[in-house]
């Protein structure tokens, strides 16, 4: 479905970078159903912003690393939805 120009112009833009919340090591997982947990794997912690069909990759320190992930930014590599 096509969107009207005035609707597109009113659409708020995503911020360029959202500060990352750094995990901390604890002895036990907090109790309760309101907590989210993440397993730490070796690798990069990145933010990917997609706008207008273009992807921008940011490091945890807000550096633009799109050039280092050129194949992903161009869409050469396909990612499964939901992964």
Per-residue pLDDT of the chain (83 residues; tens, 9 = 90+): 566 656 556 666 767 788 877 777 888 888 888 887 766 677 778 888 887 778 889 988 889 999 999 988 887 665 554 44
The pLDDT, as a whole number, for residue 82 is 46
Q: How many CB atoms lie within 10 A of CB 65?
A: 16
Q: Any idea where the domains of the chain sit in the sequence? A: 42-83
Intra-chain end-to-end CA distance of the chain, in Å: 26
The structure tokens 């396909």 sit at 78
């Amino acid at each position: 479905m096509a969107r009207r120009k005035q609707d597109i112009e009113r659409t708020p833009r995503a911020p360029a970078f959202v500060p990352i919340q750094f995990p901390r090591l604890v002895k036990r997982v907090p109790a309760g159903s309101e907590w989210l947990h993440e397993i730490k794997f070796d690798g990069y912690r990145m933010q990917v912003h997609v706008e207008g069909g273009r992807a921008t990759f940011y490091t945890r320190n807000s550096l633009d690393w799109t050039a280092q992930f050129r194949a992903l930014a161009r869409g050469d590599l396909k990612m499964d939805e939901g992964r």
